[in-house]
Structure formats: C-alpha cells, structure tokens
Amino acid sequence: MGVPKSERMTVARDKAGNQFLVRGDLVKFDIDGAGHKDIPDSWGLIHDPQGAVLDPCDIRIGPYASTGREAQIDDPVLSRICRAYFGHGMKIYDGTVEIPEGDWELVGRITVVYYARYGRGNYNGLFRHPIKMQAPAVDLYKLRSGQGYRLQFPQGCIIDSHGFVWP
C-alpha cells in the first residue's frame, strides 16, 4: 500500500523525534556480478543530510509513512535542504520512520541506483544514477535480522538538491 503519491514529499521523524529527508522510493539497484535487486516499493531512501544522527554518506532504506499533515521542520537548515530538494513552494509532508539499525551483511557493490523522486519540474520523476567502477565503491548492506538496507557512499560523497551527485 505505502504512502499516497501526493504525500511522498516527506520529512519523517523517528521515535526519538529526529527528522530525516525521504529522498524517494521505488528503489532498485544493479549489483556488480549479482544482477538486479528490488526493494519493496513502499520503502524510502532515508537520509540525514546534516549528519545529526547518521553519517550524511549513509542512506538507510526502509518503510516510512506519511501522517497526511504538513511538516513542521524543526531545523532551519534542514528546512532549506528539503525545500531545495523537492522544489520551492511544494508542500512537504510529515511522516514517521524506524531507522534500520543492527548488524549488517554486505549484499554487494552497487553499479546503478534507481529511484522515484517527487517534487516540482525537474525534481519529479524516475531517476537512474550509474556509479562508475573506477569510482570509490558504493556498497549495499542488509540487516542480518529484521528489515532494512543501508547504502554506504564513500566519505566525501555529494548528495544534495540534485540527488546523488558523486560518486
């Protein structure tokens, strides 16, 4: 079922009240030597762009939900980041999320990230982000027990209003 398409511009809170940008859903990966990996369509790319709780180069992938209410973003910097990502003037919705945590098992090295992004104009649509093999590795991990994935970009990664920029 998942989050209604009209409410996918989401800033989600965990149980501790921390806010995270949900960069999109409909996530899929191509994995070096292992083919294609589908993630449940209703799971989102959960990002802490400021690194308050998670490393900013560490994207978690798991279920999220919308409350259907407009988000009250606590931090003015996070608010600017979200408005730049979804497009100025877009309604951003409040949501909930449980950050996948635990022992991780390597799935493989990612060669392409696919995802749906929501917002205005160029900020809306299906995106494909290839990762060159000569670039530093971007690895996908899954929880050994429980549900969730972790997409680990190398230190110095660039993830901004354009999406995944480097590597």
Domain count, the chain: 1
Residue at 85: amino acid letter: Y
What is the mean pLDDT of the segment spanning 100-104? 95
Cα separation, 121 vs 125, whole angstroms: 9
- Per-residue confidence at 8, pLDDT binned at 50, 70, 90? confident
For residue 29, is pLDDT > 80?
Answer: yes
Give me 110's structure tokens.
Answer: 């990612």
What is the mean pLDDT of the segment spanning 103-110? 96
All residues at 6 or more sequence positions from 149 whose CB lies less than 8 Å from its CB, including other chains? 39, 43, 60, 61, 62, 100, 107, 140, 141, 142, 143
- Per-residue confidence at 134, pLDDT binned at 50, 70, 90? confident
What 8-state DSSP symbol labels residue 28? E
This prediction has a pTM of 0.93
CA 135 from centroid of its chain's CA atoms: 21
| Domain limits for position 110 | 5-166
Which pLDDT score, from 0 to 100, does residue 146 have?
82
